Amino acid sequence: MTTDFAAIFDQGLERYNAGEGPDTLIPVFKEVCDRAPKIAAAWSCLAWLYLLDDKPEQAYKVALKGVKIDSNAPQARINLVLAMLETGQTGVRKHIDVAKQLMALDSQVRQDLSESIEDGLARKPDWKNLQRVKNWLAED
């Protein structure tokens, strides 16, 4: 397998960071996931885009794959929590606890999650479940 998926992934991230919306980026990250199904970050990005696009059922399936591939990926855990909240599922506390543990161990993880949450709230200001997750992560 070639690494052209990495270039597609990087271009997708650049487009996202430039403000492009989920409607055009979802197909990009689907392609990356198809080409490189063991890359947890790709599944995490796709789940996040589904969440931004108000597609929580798809986000849940994709976020679950991301967590299965890398159970220590904090963003994957947060995406799974959000998808679970959006679809009315229970059992989110264990994923929040893992994310909090990872944040406590690594200040870069804390910063990355904080930036991701703020980005999500900027793109979707009325995202109540993301605000809930932000509050949970801030608890001691």
Residue 114, domain CATH? 1.25.40.10
Using an 8 Å Cβ cutoff, are 68 and 59 in contact? no
How many Å apart are CA 47 and CA 79, to the nearest integer?
Answer: 6
Is residue 37 scored above 50 in pLDDT? yes
pLDDT tens per residue, range 77-133? 999 999 999 999 999 999 999 999 999 999 999 999 999 999 999 999 999 999 999
Distance, in Å, from the CA atom of 92 to the CA atom of 123, rounded to the nearest integer, reads 23
The domain containing residue 109 runs over which residues? 4-138
Q: How many CB atoms lie within 10 A of CB 121?
A: 14
The two counts, helices (H) then strands (E), for the chain are: 8, 0
Q: How many domains is the chain partitioned into structurally?
A: 1
Residue 24 corresponds to which tokens in the numbers above? Answer: 């055009």
Cα–Cα distance between 3 and 126 in angstroms, integer? 38
